Structure 1
Amino acid sequence: MRLNYEATGPADAPVVLLGASLGATQAMWAPQVDVLAKRYRVVAFDHRGHGKSDVPLGPYSIDDLGGDVVELLDTLEVDQASYVGISLGGAVGLWLAQNAAERFHRFALLCPPANPAENAQMWADRAAQVRAEGTQSITDATLGRWFLPEFTEVAPVRQMLLDTPDEGYAACCEALGSTNLLPGLADITAPVLLITTDGDTSIPPETVVPLAAQIPGAHLEIIENAAHLVTYSHPDVINPLLLTHLG
């Protein structure tokens, strides 16, 4: 599987991978890349089915999405990296922490869905809608969940959603609809930073907060007056937390 990625920062610096949200590309990390790249080799990638990555026919699984990231490390000839992921990227991070722990130093996981299979029918319905009507049919509702009304700088993110291949988006919905990462949380050994927000209606904070007690040693931050795509809307809050955790 060929994942599209952009690498920024010193070639000999520690590597940090950035995994995006469902319906977004590596470009959503623009508010973080320049800051992180002063200290790290930052590799922001597009999940399969997104951006300029390959778009195989679905359904996909979380094993597929996580395995793609391990394969990317192999392609980059990187033995170990740290990982930052939001939303779908956060779920992939939880999978990596459980299934490829030897390849990662630490994780920062923002608004991660740990058991999206609990709402399997919703994901199946959304996949069917996007296959039938395109991503434009879900864009306005998605932006309404991702940002509070007062945040208006959404045009680039809107375009990412509109440009996401319909099959890639739908197949990733199906991956989420078959994913339950709760059973393996207690086995995670890497340092984990969990971030949620008080206004997230996509992955509500009450589904993220309990994870901090289930992942050994996890550190939890709850961001106030923010919605789902908090990396994009609140980089002034998120970036210092990432720098502190990544070390």
Structure 2
Amino acid sequence: MSVLPWTASEGPLPIVAFGNSLGAVQASWGPLLHELGGSRATLTFDLPGHYDESIAPFDFDKMAEDVAQTIRAHSDAPVVLCGVSLGGALAVRVAADHPELACAVVVVNAPVAQPDPALWHARARAIDEHGLEPFAETLHERWFSADAEPSMIEAVRADFRALPAAGYANACRAIADLDIRDAASRVSVPAVIVRAADDIAVAASNSDELATLIPHSHLIHVPGAHLLPAENPRAVIDAIDMAIALIEETS
């Protein structure tokens, strides 16, 4: 297990720990953190494959354990685990496997299981052969609504281009067999599942299924696309506030 590269800010507890989408870095939470304005203590981190070449293969299990280790290193109390896409799947897995680390989860546009593992292995091979640029050019189509702010899209695209290609390819391989259905059924803390109306990267049925699998969950529908924290940060902040209210109701 490893402690991942991290950034923390002070504010009222509980800490909200933010997990990135595949292909995104800590900076993707910038619009949301700006809008929070210090009203919550926060922790962001970069996932394996996103900060170095990570030539050695790793899997989804290691990603989850690294997230758990990072949270454990920075908080003596349970945190709100908030993640988008891959980060949301990791939030579910960590909350299930390490219930002492989580007081609530907020899951945004996350896959329950990969319907086509071969697609991710093919993407990894394409990156090995051609680099990140072909995916960078079409990133806006998969992650954002048509009316998303162009400067925000270009900032996210620049961060994607700066990823280590070999590391990102290994991250694609690592999630090819992702399946959090068992983990979801073991989550014992309040959960808010966020489904963005215009997300084409992860099918809406994933959020619906998560809401049925996680025992204490609430499904909300919001405007926006896949990388919702960058495009519509207020919707994610509202989900976090809802999760914290649920903690207070059950405490």
**Partner residue, 2:191:** 192
**Partner residue, 2:127:** 130
> Superposition pairs for residues 1-247 of structure 1, below 5 Å?
1-10=2-11, 13-36=13-36, 38-51=38-51, 54-116=52-114, 118-151=115-148, 152-153=150-151, 154-224=153-223, 226-247=224-245
CA shift, 1:38, in A, is: 2.8
The secondary structure found in structure 2 opposite 1:159 is helix
Q: What's the % identity of the aligned pairs? A: 24
Contact 2:3–2:67, Cα closer than 8 Å, also in 1: no
One-letter amino acid matched to 1:29: W
Contact 2:14–2:41, Cα closer than 8 Å, also in 1: yes
CA distance in 1, matches of 2:95, 2:13: 22
CA distance in 2, matches of 1:198, 1:40: 27
CA shift, 1:246, in A, is: 2.7
Tell me whether 130-139 or 18-27 shows the greater mean CA deviation. Answer: 130-139
CA shift, 1:77, in A, is: 4.8
Change in 2 beyond 3 A, CA 1:135/1:194: same
Contact 2:77–2:101, Cα closer than 8 Å, also in 1: yes
Contact 2:72–2:101, Cα closer than 8 Å, also in 1: no
CA distance in 1, matches of 2:30, 2:123: 27
Contact 1:73–1:79, Cα closer than 8 Å, also in 2: no
One-letter amino acid matched to 1:3: L
**Partner residue, 2:248:** none
Contact 1:90–1:110, Cα closer than 8 Å, also in 2: yes
CA shift, 1:23, in A, is: 0.9
Structure 2 alignment gaps of length 5 or more: 246-251
The secondary structure found in structure 2 opposite 1:209 is helix
The secondary structure found in structure 1 opposite 2:116 is helix
Contact 2:49–2:168, Cα closer than 8 Å, also in 1: yes
CA shift, 1:58, in A, is: 4.2
Contact 2:106–2:239, Cα closer than 8 Å, also in 1: no
One-letter amino acid matched to 2:141: G
Structure 1 alignment gaps of length 5 or more: none
Tell me whether 88-97 or 182-191 shows the greater mean CA deviation. Answer: 182-191
CA shift, 1:32, in A, is: 1.6
